[in-house]
């Protein structure tokens, strides 16, 4: 089995964690959450999303959150689904941006109101602009295993989107089990294939935990050679356009799992627990 000395965790709680919460969290409280998370030793935090405020009202304060993250000197990611978002993110001096395209046509249409082809074409223009501004570019591929609208998603559908992102120069590609329906076998097979096809690409595993398989899926991805994982404090999260899906794999569960196996994450347990308590207070769980 593959047991690396260290893995890298990206905390996505302030973005993926909060975007699906029905309670609108005040901006000042989001800042406090980000501050708590910044103290636990995580390398990067996904803090905001420059999406349409009518579509995801929880993310309407992205510019103010970005300004706060800049004042802390944080390395953070903000989601940018289209050129307009990218321009807003550049204006807000966001260091790392993330585009997102689904491997499922129906999901992509519902999520960002574009066909996959139109989204990929827009991403080509966005990558050019983001690179001119020296941004680190994460590319998400959502619904990489199954989709609430289309059912099973074929590997070829995933490959088509991944390949486009590889060709236009993504700095990393996060493979999403958006609705949390993957199992360890398909995870191992798909990540192994992707690593074989694109050996110099940095892949990230992004699991939602709908069926309680997320930790098993993490280990399966690890065995396929993946060492970068996304997780959310207190397991918050979900996507408004992925009905029935629950939160991301929890940061505290992931950190405990890795530490027990002798794999370092750089995350401090005490600060992480404080961040978790604060996050739970915010969503009153
Ligand atoms: P649209 O309606 O198609 O946009 O929305 P449009 O280009 O047709 O423009 C319509 C109007 O919206 C125009 O205004 C634009 O200016 C405005 P008007 O001229 O009518 O006054 N507009 C915007 N305003 C603010 N911010 C913007 C923006 N863009 C256009 N960025 C859009 C397209 C992408 C904006 C919309 O569909 C959207 O916001 N979608 C976001 C969906 C979302 O946030 N989903 C959750 C994140 S993805 C996820 O969770 C999965 C992930 O975690 C990985 C995984 O789990 O797999 C990442
Ligand atoms: Mg997600």
Atom of ligand 1 nearest to the CA of 12: 53
Examine residue 254 and state whether it is found in any structural domain, yes or no. Answer: yes
Atom of ligand 1 nearest to the CA of 49: 44
Answer whether 10's CB lies under 8 Å from 228's CB.
yes
Answer whether 191's CB lies under 8 Å from 181's CB.
no
Torsion angle of the four alpha carbons 38, 66, 202, 197, in this order, in degrees rounded to the nearest 10: 150
Whether 206 is in the pocket of ligand 1, judged by its Cβ within 6 Å, is yes
The three-state secondary structure class of 111 is helix
Whether 152 is in the pocket of ligand 1, judged by its Cβ within 6 Å, is no
pLDDT of residue 285: 59
The residue segments making up the domain with residue 53 are 8-283
pTM to 2 decimal places: 0.98
pLDDT per position as a tens digit, 178-221: 999 999 999 999 999 999 999 999 999 999 999 999 999 999 99
The structure tokens listed for 111 are 């999520």
Answer whether 266's CB lies under 8 Å from 6's CB.
yes
Answer whether 201's CB lies under 8 Å from 169's CB.
no
Examine residue 250 and state whether it is found in any structural domain, yes or no. Answer: yes
Q: Which ligand has an atom closest to residue 141 CA?
A: 1
CATH number at residue 251: 3.20.20.70
Examine residue 3 and state whether it is found in any structural domain, yes or no. Answer: no
pLDDT of residue 180: 97
Q: Which ligand has an atom closest to residue 242 CA?
A: 1
pLDDT at 20 over 90: no
Whether 207 is in the pocket of ligand 1, judged by its Cβ within 6 Å, is no
Examine residue 195 and state whether it is found in any structural domain, yes or no. Answer: yes
Whether 145 is in the pocket of ligand 1, judged by its Cβ within 6 Å, is no
pLDDT of residue 240: 85
- Can 144 be counted among the known catalytic residues? no
pLDDT of residue 239: 83
The three-state secondary structure class of 216 is helix
Examine residue 222 and state whether it is found in any structural domain, yes or no. Answer: yes
Q: State how far the Cα of 136 lies from the Cα of 114, in Å rounded to an integer.
A: 24
Going from the Cα of 114 to the center of ligand 1, the distance in angstroms, rounded, reads 10
Examine residue 141 and state whether it is found in any structural domain, yes or no. Answer: yes
- Number of domains into which the chain is organized: 1
DSSP state of 199: T
Residue 122's DSSP bridge partners are none
Examine residue 167 and state whether it is found in any structural domain, yes or no. Answer: yes
Q: Which residue has the tokens 């909060």?
A: 18
Answer whether 267's CB lies under 8 Å from 41's CB.
yes
Mean pLDDT of 52-65: 96
Examine residue 228 and state whether it is found in any structural domain, yes or no. Answer: yes
């Amino acid at each position: 089995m593959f047991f690396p000395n260290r893995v890298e965790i990206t905390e996505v709680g302030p973005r993926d964690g909060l975007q699906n919460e029905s309670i609108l969290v005040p901006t000042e409280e989001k800042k406090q959450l980000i501050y708590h998370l910044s103290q636990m030793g995580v390398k990067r935090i996904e803090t905001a999303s420059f999406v349409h405020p009518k579509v995801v009202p929880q993310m309407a304060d992205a510019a103010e959150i970005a300004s706060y993250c800049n004042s802390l000197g944080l390395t953070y990611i903000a989601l940018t689904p289209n050129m307009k978002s990218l321009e807003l993110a550049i204006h807000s001096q966001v260091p790392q941006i993330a585009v997102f395209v689904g491997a499922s046509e129906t999901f992509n249409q519902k999520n960002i109101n574009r066909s996959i082809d139109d989204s990929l074409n827009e991403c080509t223009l966005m990558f050019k602009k983001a690179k001119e501004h020296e941004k680190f570019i994460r590319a998400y591929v959502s619904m990489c295993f199954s989709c609430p609208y289309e059912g099973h998603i074929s590997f070829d559908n995933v490959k088509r989107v991944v390949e486009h992102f590889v060709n236009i120069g993504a700095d990393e590609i996060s493979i999403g089990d958006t609705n949390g329906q993957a199992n360890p076998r398909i995870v191992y097979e798909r990540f192994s294939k992707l690593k074989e096809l694109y050996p110099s690409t940095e892949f990230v595993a992004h699991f939602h935990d709908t069926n309680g398989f997320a930790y098993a899926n993490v280990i399966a991805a690890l065995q396929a050679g993946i060492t970068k994982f996304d997780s959310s404090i207190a397991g918050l999260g979900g996507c408004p356009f992925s009905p029935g899906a629950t939160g991301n794999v929890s940061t505290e569960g992931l950190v405990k799992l890795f530490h027990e196996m002798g794999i370092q994450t750089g995350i401090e347990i005490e600060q992480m627990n404080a961040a978790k308590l604060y996050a739970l207070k915010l969503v009153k769980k």
